[in-house]
Amino acid sequence: MITQAKSILKETFGFDQFRPLQENVIKNVLEKKDTLVIMPTGGGKSLCYQIPAMLFDGLTIVVSPLISLMKDQVDQLTSYGIPAVVLNSSISDDLYRLNEQKVRSGQAKMLYVAPESLMTDRIRHLLTQVKVDCFTIDEAHCISEWGHDFRPDYRQLAEIRKDFPEAVCIGLTATATPRVREDIKEILEFRDASTFVASFDRENLFLNVVDKSGPVDQILDFLYTRKGQSGIIYCFSRRQTDELYQDLKDEGHSVRPYHAGLSEHQRETYQNAFIRDDIDIIVATVAFGMGIDKPDVRFVIHHDMPQNIESYYQQIGRAGRDGLRSDCLLLYSHSDRQKINYFINQKEGEEKEVAKKHLEDLINYLTTSDCRRIPLMEYFGETYNGNDCGMCDNCISMKDEMEDLTVAAQKFLSCIVRTDERFGATHITDILRGSKAKKVLENGHDELSTYGIGEEFSKDQWVQLSRLLVRKDFLTKDPKYGSLLLTDDARKVLKDEKRVTGVLDRTQTAIDGSAAARTSSDVENRYDENLFEELRKVRKDLAVQQDVAPYVIFPDTTLMEMAYYFPQSSETLTGIYGVGDAKQKKYGRDFLEVIKEYCEENNIEEREREIKKKTKKRSSSKKHVQIGEDYNNGKSLEHLAEEHGVKMPTILKHLKTFLEEGNDLRQDGILDASGLSQRKVDEVNQAMDKVGPELLKPVYEELNKSVGYSELRMMQLYYIAKNGS
Ligand code: ADP
Ligand code: ZN
């Protein structure tokens, strides 16, 4: 059965491997042994019952306390092609009857219900008519009075479960002390119980605590390089929430507030807007977050000190469920601490003692100069060994060192000069980092001497540097066009008469070697951001059409892989993370179309998967010479493509390099391969005379799109071979 589970993982969900514990849990459930699963948020609890549900003959019931989350889960399952339904008070009568019918007929494999609905006679009666194989209790800690979220309704699940003696029971939770764990098993009367506890270390969260000084500016700085990313900012009070919301809004951020002072309708609207990527940021009190299953929250900021480690951990846990690197920033001030102390002193007796202890633990976390994971994990009863996590400020520990940034500033400033002060920070950064973005190529900026001289900084760091230069009056922004303009001071920097010093956020160092790279993969660091943005638009359109959250279509990880591997066919698309059979059928075409068009326009080829690449790499260094010589000796282009197992554009690229190194190339074969008539060949030549042979897009436009890119690529080679470049 576990082999079947693995193929469901790949074919239905599109994932290559199980996460830690998933396989063991699934095995246990399939053997019909009651199972308790304790995993942090984002650990992958859902698959632990969704995969068995597909393998059991009968129905799997999933009890979950949050009605809002159920719809989301069922949407997701439907998108994977898994027949799941929900029965609760939020759906129309018609849909309710239809779903009941699906359960009765065995058409639905999974039923999501709230505990109070499960207790109704109507549902209890319905469930006597079907075979139930698995009884799942999500957020199982709600059953225990010792948990932080006890719900009396949950208590009665123990009785209900007796209705299905054949069913295996599985309980899942993200927070559970040993006391709560025992409680859950006892109350549910687990037989042959097995408990699986995953580590609570969330490796992909970058933990950062800084002294609070001018919090609004600190937050604006942080947000500056994170345009378009989803994030939550927690404040202590409603008033603070409203104020910060206003400040961010005034600065042009896409943001909404959330606190108990707003009407229920407003809160729901804002929460949905956040989930659906209609807005980027929520500024909120602790009231926000329950029932948020959004996997791509990229940061959580604490404007104020949290109440205790438990709630801090829960709040930062909402970031990075998808496993991608996410940032947790906490602004810490002594006066916040006094505020909390004040509240604690109003309490009495044991309650006061407990609160004091909690504060102590939290302060310990905030003020440690060791790895932050040590006190954090200790709090959850785990020992964190390893003294360099590479994912907290203390382990990176260069945060406050002023650096001499003169050389970097000179690169940046001279690049602005070379592009006539007509562009903004992103474009300058693209040039410095040697990007193949359309805008760079179209402007011929890949030919500037500053092209590709700035690989030592990540994109974010260059943008940060630009902000620093603006703040220190080396640059001003053209109010109308947003382009960056040099000041007199900047010219002094260029003449080596003035130095630039400052602090960049070193935690964002991309590319090889840095500690942070440990959890961010090659894909995460080097995907094509322009294509990624286009794919996000496709996703958003589909989501609106189908009335679901964008991540239900595909998570960010999937889009990133697409923008890294550039799959061109449905076969290679299946290899992408998160693309299972059903999603491939439903959305494959829409995404492939955009990827192909983008690749065509930017002359990009599909990237081979890593494993294959490694074995091939050795021989590739002088390949263009070999190909060039073979070609001159009479081999045809098609022959060479086949022989080397690559596509035509690759062969052409090699030949172009060969030419550019000063070698000659025979011209006859190229024209033949292009298949163009003499008249067309003349037209293309004329067009290239006019707009130059280097960039194909202008040639393409010049010819009114009458000749395709692949032919143009050949003609380009022919033209250069004939005329020299
Ligand atoms: P939890 O319920 O524990 O918070 P989820 O079940 O929502 O976590 O899973 C978190 C994310 O991880 C989801 O986006 C899910 O698709 C993804 N995921 C789960 N298992 C795997 C796996 N084996 N491989 C890759 N991604 C996974
Ligand atoms: Zn650390």
131-155 pLDDT, tens digit per residue, is: 999 999 999 999 988 766 788 889 8
Ligand 1, residues 25, 46, 62, 551: which to mutate, most atoms within 8 A of Cβ? 46
**Lowest-pLDDT range of 346-355, 356-365, 496-505, 577-586:** 496-505
pLDDT of residue 484: 93
Under CATH, to which class is 522-619 assigned? mainly alpha
Cα(380) to ligand 2 centroid in Å equals 16
Domain assignments of the chain as residue spans, ordered by start? 2-197, 205-388, 403-502, 522-619, 623-723
**Which listed ligand is nearest to 295 at the C-alpha?**
1
- Relative to the CA of 18, which ligand 1 atom is closest? 23
The answer regarding whether domain 623-723 maps to CATH 3.40.309.10 reads no
42 lines ligand 1 (CB under 6 A): yes
Residue 446 and residue 437: Cα distance in Å, rounded? 10
- Measured CA angle at 278 (ends 276, 282), to 5 deg: 90
Residue 657 and residue 627: Cα distance in Å, rounded? 10
15 lines ligand 1 (CB under 6 A): yes
Cα–Cα distance list, 242 to 57, 297, 405, 523 (Å): 52, 21, 37, 38
Cα(76) to ligand 1 centroid in Å equals 12
Domains 2-197 and 403-502 alike in fold: no
41 lines ligand 1 (CB under 6 A): yes
User: Fold for domain 2-197?
Assistant: Rossmann fold (3.40.50)
**Which listed ligand is nearest to 385 at the C-alpha?**
2
User: Fold for domain 205-388?
Assistant: Rossmann fold (3.40.50)
- Relative to the CA of 43, which ligand 1 atom is closest? 3
What tens digit of pLDDT does each residue of 33-90 get?
999 999 988 889 999 999 999 999 999 999 998 887 888 899 999 999 999 999 988 8
Cα(321) to ligand 1 centroid in Å equals 7
SS3 sequence of 599-660: HHHHCCCCCCCHHHHHHHHHHHCCHHHHHHHHHHCCCCHHHHHHHHCCCHHHHHHHHHHHHH
pLDDT of residue 507: 45
Cα(204) to ligand 2 centroid in Å equals 12
DSSP for 34-74?
-EEEE--TTS-HHHHHHHHHHHSSSEEEEE-S-HHHHHHHH
Residue with the larger pLDDT of the pair 476 and 657: 476
Q: Which amino acid is at 456?
A: E
Nearest of 375, 228, 239, 218 to residue 302 by alpha carbon: 218
The answer regarding whether domain 403-502 maps to CATH 1.10.260.40 reads no
Residue whose structure tokens are 């933990």: 207
294 lines ligand 1 (CB under 6 A): no
pLDDT of residue 401: 57
CA-only gyration radius of the chain, Å: 29
Cα(398) to ligand 2 centroid in Å equals 13
Residue 429 and residue 214: Cα distance in Å, rounded? 28
200 lines ligand 1 (CB under 6 A): no
Calculate mean pLDDT across residues 504-527: 51
Written as six digits, the tokens of 509 are 């160092």
- Relative to the CA of 45, which ligand 1 atom is closest? 3
Residue 672 and residue 601: Cα distance in Å, rounded? 23
Cα–Cα distance list, 244 to 219, 250, 253, 266, 670 (Å): 10, 10, 11, 18, 63
pLDDT of residue 618: 33
Cα(370) to ligand 2 centroid in Å equals 7
Nearest of 503, 482, 515 to residue 408 by alpha carbon: 503
321 lines ligand 1 (CB under 6 A): yes
19 lines ligand 1 (CB under 6 A): yes
Ligand 1, residues 47, 197, 557: which to mutate, most atoms within 8 A of Cβ? 47
Kindly tell me the sign of the dihedral angle through the C-alpha atoms of 262, 264, 267, 270. negative
Please check whether residue 497 is in contact with residue 483, taking contact to mean a CB–CB distance below 8 angstroms: no
- Phi/psi of residue 477, nearest 5 degrees: -100, 130
88 lines ligand 1 (CB under 6 A): no
Cα(389) to ligand 2 centroid in Å equals 4
Residue with the larger pLDDT of the pair 536 and 388: 536
- Relative to the CA of 577, which ligand 1 atom is closest? 25
pLDDT of residue 384: 83
566 lines ligand 1 (CB under 6 A): no
Angle between helix 648-660 and 623-632 (nearest 10) = 90
Cα(719) to ligand 1 centroid in Å equals 52
- Phi/psi of residue 542, nearest 5 degrees: -60, -40
Written as six digits, the tokens of 265 are 């309708």
Cα-Cα-Cα-Cα torsion 524, 528, 533, 539, nearest 10 degrees, comes to -70
What tens digit of pLDDT does each residue of 4-37 get?
999 999 999 999 889 889 999 999 999 999 999 9
What tens digit of pLDDT does each residue of 352-401 get?
888 888 888 899 999 888 889 999 988 887 888 766 788 898 887 644 45
Nearest of 495, 526, 533 to residue 512 by alpha carbon: 526
- Give the list of residues 6+ apart from residue 659 with CB closer than 8 angstroms, or none: 628, 665, 717, 720, 721, 725
Written as six digits, the tokens of 392 are 């907290």
Angle between helix 459-471 and 406-418 (nearest 10) = 90
Kindly tell me the sign of the dihedral angle through the C-alpha atoms of 309, 310, 316, 317. positive
Written as six digits, the tokens of 203 are 């490796």
Calculate mean pLDDT across residues 148-168: 88
Cα(676) to ligand 2 centroid in Å equals 62
Cα(396) to ligand 2 centroid in Å equals 8
Residue nearest to atom 2 of ligand 1 (CA): 45
Task: Identify the H or E element spanning 326.
Answer: strand 326-332
Cα(371) to ligand 2 centroid in Å equals 4
**At 617, is the pLDDT very low, low, confident or very high (cuts 50, 70, 90)?**
very low
Contacts by 538-546 with C-beta closer than 8 Å and gap 24+? 538/590, 538/591, 538/594, 540/277, 542/587, 542/590, 543/276, 543/277
693 lines ligand 1 (CB under 6 A): no
**Which listed ligand is nearest to 46 at the C-alpha?**
1
Q: Which amino acid is at 588?
A: G
Residue 140 and residue 184: Cα distance in Å, rounded? 7
What tens digit of pLDDT does each residue of 211-253 get?
888 899 889 888 887 888 999 999 999 999 999 999 999 999 9
DSSP for 84-107?
EEEESTTS-HHHHHHHHHHHHTT-
Cα(199) to ligand 2 centroid in Å equals 16
pLDDT of residue 538: 96
- Give the list of residues 6+ apart from residue 544 with CB closer than 8 angstroms, or none: none
The residues with which 485 forms a beta bridge, in sequence order, are 476
Calculate mean pLDDT across residues 255-262: 96
**Which listed ligand is nearest to 25 at the C-alpha?**
1
322 lines ligand 1 (CB under 6 A): yes
